[in-house]
Copies of this chain bind each other. A is one copy, B any other.
Amino acid sequence: MELSPTAYVILGMVSRQPRSGYEIKALVDNSTRFFWAASYGQIYPELKRLAEGGLVEGADSPRGERKRTVYAITEAGEAALREWLRQPPRTYETRDEGLLKLFFAGALPRDEATRILAAMREHRAGLAERLRSMEPKVLEKEDPYPLMVLRAGIEFNEWFAGWCERMEAQMLEPARPERSR
Residues in B with CB closer than 8 Å to A88 are 119
A148 contacts the other chain (Cβ, under 8 Å)? yes
Produce 1/0 per residue, A137-177, CB < 8 A to B. 00100011111110010011001100100010000000010
- Interface SS of chain A: helix, strand, loop or mixed? helix
Residues in B with CB closer than 8 Å to A9 are 100
**Using a Cβ–Cβ cut-off of 8 Å, how many residues does chain A contribute to the interface with B?**
62
A69 contacts the other chain (Cβ, under 8 Å)? no
Question: Which A residues are within 8 Å of any B CB, using their own CB?
Answer: 5, 8-9, 12, 15, 31-32, 34-37, 78, 81-82, 84-86, 88-108, 112-113, 116, 119-120, 123, 139, 143-149, 152, 155-156, 159-160, 163, 167, 176, 178-179
Complex: chain B residue closest to A90, CB-CB? B97
Complex: chain B residue closest to A118, CB-CB? B88
Interface centre among A34, A103, A159 (most CB of B within 10 A): A103
Q: How far is the CA of A31 from the CA of B105 in the complex (A)?
A: 14
| Residue from the list B78, B93, B178 in contact with A94, Cβ < 8 A | B93
